[in-house]
Structures are given as structure tokens and as C-alpha cells.
Amino acid sequence: ADATARYTAANPASLARHEAAKASLPGGNTRSVMWYEPFPVGIAKGEGVQLTDLDGHSYTDFVSEYSAGLYGHSNPLIQNAMREAIANGVALGGPNSYEALLADELCARFAALERVRFTNSGTEANIMAISAARAITGRDKVMVFREGYHGGVLLFGHGGSVLNLPFPYVMADYNDIEGTEALLRAHKDSIGAVILEQMLGAGGCIRASDAFLAMLRRVTQETGALLIFDEVMTSRQHFNGLQAVTGITPDLMTLGKYIGGGASFGAFGGRADLMARFDPGAEGCFGHGGTFNNNIISMRAGYTGLSQVLTQEASALFNALGAQLQTQIDGLFAAHGLAGCTAGYGSLFAVHFMPREAVTPQAVDQADRRVQKLWHLEMMLAGQYVTPRGMIALALPHSEADCAGLVAAMDRFLADHAA
């Protein structure tokens, strides 16, 4: 109550924005993940990893737009690319020279990606990948995993959403090797697609075990189901995607978030023989429209980001910084003798207020979030912009000093509140 009162008193302009927005947006909101109690701060400006809210407070940004803000804010190279794109007109009704350049960059980077097509969001990319897999295999069912998140209509936390697309789902438990294999074999003639993240992102940054992924690769090859890796979030965790770390190559994969340089983006692709079905000149081809699929802002900003900013070295450095920050936060919990830990990999992880042994997708979903909520508000009051559910995403401009700021704020929080 005390933290809520201090937060409310500190943020009158954000509160006024929130209240005014309710007149036309349900609950004042158009992105569910941006809502938290008592009300979210409105953001006015970002530069590097600094954010300024409507009341003039500045924050170090550890939300990084839920992993999409990999480049930090207002990167001059990417801003210039966007300005140049706009200068020549947008939405010109024809192919442009940047879509193939961006596609080349992506196919060179991700082993699974021989051919790729663009969409406007990660959600759309997953819908297209799943739909293609069902059409190619001629099989109806889609295997998904509890606590998986693949977009607003493909949401399997809390047991699923009433808004989910009406695909016939076979729901399995993440990292349950035996149970999942049994389900795959029981439905071997009807499962056309298996979709998962190699690390549950929204589901608490819990990684898949090597044995679980190896089983999925082997058994889908036997049954003929197509294996789809959703790398919308995880692709940032290694220069060549998390698939380069796990060593497993799926049949299809999806991308989104930072790849558009901060503009709206999604992509799906994979094996050339499968993606050949999308060749508009081929007989019996699949149609795939989307007015803004090749929009010049995403294409040009995305190409500039990948070709000039997210180098192999930059990727390795910011992922190493994330690993170091995780170790430091784990060390704080140990030093204070408190139950808590981080889960994740490199530049993307989550802080959990429970012992490491207890961290499973289900336990994270059902956790009592009182301490976590308090942590969130206290971090905000301390100028550390973090997500209410504990996810932390680094951006390329984060420095050791930025990370030290978060560690110091967490140290004070653990000393004061969590004993």
C-alpha cells in the first residue's frame, strides 16, 4: 500500500493520461502486457537505454520493449535509415530493393532459414507457419506447450485463452520428454505441426532441456510432423539464434521483434522445399498477402540494424553482459539468504522470487506475486524500468554501470522488503 501510494503521488501526469485514455481505449489500454496496477507510467522519450516518462522521471530501461528494443532507443544509424526510407515515400505498391537484402541477411544468419517471408508481427508469422505446416502435411492438429506464448491468439499460459484460434490443439508439458513423446505417437497421423520456443519467454525464461529438444526433432522426423521454432524472442540470445546454442534445426522458424529495427515486424520461413509452396509462380501455390509485409521502414531499418549494428561481436558482448547480470542477481539472493533466482540465457532472463528448484512453467504461472509486484514498483521508484513479471531484456547500449545500477537497487530492495 505504501509503495502504491508513493508511486501514485510521484506520477500525476501518467495517472491523468491513463484516466483520459479510458474514454476511448478499454481500461485505457491497447496492449495487455503494458497494463499493471495501479496504472502504467506513460513514456515520452527514449535515448540509448534511458527513458523519460510523462512526469519527467528518467529510468534505465531493462524492459527493452519486451526484447524488441535490442538496439536501444534512437540509434542514429537506424533513425537515419528510417528517415531515408520515409523521404522517398512509403507504401508505394511494389517490391523494393530492401526486402531481398533483409531476407539475405536473415537466411545467412539462421541455419533453419533457407527461404523467408515477411509479415507485420510475430503473431502473424506464427499463424502463417502453423497454417502452412497444416496445409503441407494435410494434418489438422497442432502440438503446443502449456505456458507457451506465440501471440495474442496463440496463448497457452493459464491453460489457454478463449480468444485463441480454433486449431485443434494437443497440449503437452514443456520439458516432459516421456509424456510429450507418448502424445506425439498417439496422434501421429493427425499432428501436422509442433510449435515451441527453445526457451519459454513470456512463460518465465525457462529453457528447454537438450534431451527434450532432441526427442522432439527425432520423433517429429519419424511421424512427419513439422517442427517449428518460435525464435521471435530467442533469436537475440545468440548471433545465429538460440538454435545455434541448442544445436537443433527445425523445419520452420519464426522471427519478429527487433529484426525490424524497432518498426513492426514478423517473418516465417525454413526449408526451401517447404517454402517453395509460397512461390506465386508455382502450381497450387499458397497465397500469402499482407499490405505492409514489405513496408520500407521495417525493411530498411531492419537491414541497417542487422548489417551495421548487430555484429557478431556486439551480439556476443551484450549476451555476456546479460549472463554477468544474472550471476550478480543470483548472488544477491544468496547474500541476503532469500529464496530467489534468475532463469534465462544471455541478454534475456527473468527474476523469480522462488528457489531455483521450484522454477517450473506451472509454478511460475501460479506463483504468489505479492513480492514481485512490490519489487516492480520499488524498482520503478528507483529509476529502474523493469517488467511487472520480472523479465529483463538488455539492449546493445547497456553498460556495466547501467547493470550495476539495477544490482544496487535490488540490493536495497532485498535488504528492506524481502526479509
Please select the residue that binds ligand PLP; options are 151, 270, 302, 361, rule is CB under 6 A: 151
Site for ligand PLP in 82-141 (CB under 6 A): 121-123, 126
Of 128 and 374, nearer to ligand PLP (C-beta) is 128
Residue 269 binds to ligand PLP (criterion: CB under 6 A): no
Of 199 and 379, nearer to ligand PLP (C-beta) is 199
Of 28 and 201, nearer to ligand PLP (C-beta) is 201
Half-sphere exposure of 244 (CA within 13 A, CB side): 15
Residue 201 binds to ligand PLP (criterion: CB under 6 A): yes
Please select the residue that binds ligand PLP; options are 28, 192, 256, 390, rule is CB under 6 A: 256
DSSP string, 235-301: GGGSTT-THHHH----SEEEEEGGGGBTB--EEEEE-HHHHGGG-TTSTTPPP---TTTT-HHHHHH
Q: Distance of alpha carbon 39 from its chain centroid, rounded?
A: 23
Tell the smallest beta-carbon distance from residue 397 to ligand PLP (Å): 22
Tell the smallest beta-carbon distance from residue 125 to ligand PLP (Å): 7
Burial of 157 (0-12, 13-18, 19+ CB in 10 A): middle
Residue 250 binds to ligand PLP (criterion: CB under 6 A): no
d(CA 235, CA 65): 15
Which three-class secondary structure state does DSSP give residue 54? Answer: coil
Name the DSSP class of 220: H
Please select the residue that binds ligand PLP; options are 213, 233, 329, 393, rule is CB under 6 A: 233
Tell the smallest beta-carbon distance from residue 186 to ligand PLP (Å): 27
208 within 8 A of 241, measured Cβ to Cβ: no
Stretch in the footprint of ligand PLP (CB under 6 A) among 47-55, 101-109, 149-157, 331-339:
149-157
Where are the alpha helices (H) located in 286-399, listed in sequence order?
296-304, 312-336, 361-366, 370-381
DSSP lists the bridge partners of residue 270 as: 115, 252
**x-marked contacts with ligand PLP along 51-70 as a string, rule CB under 6 A:** ---------------x----
Q: Are strands 226-230 and 252-256 parallel, antiparallel or unpaired?
A: parallel
Whole-angstrom CA distances from 220 to 23, 180, 230, 296 are 50, 11, 16, 37
Of 172 and 409, nearer to ligand PLP (C-beta) is 172
Tell the smallest beta-carbon distance from residue 139 to ligand PLP (Å): 22
Please select the residue that binds ligand PLP; options are 53, 99, 147, 197, rule is CB under 6 A: 197
Please select the residue that binds ligand PLP; options are 105, 147, 230, 378, rule is CB under 6 A: 230
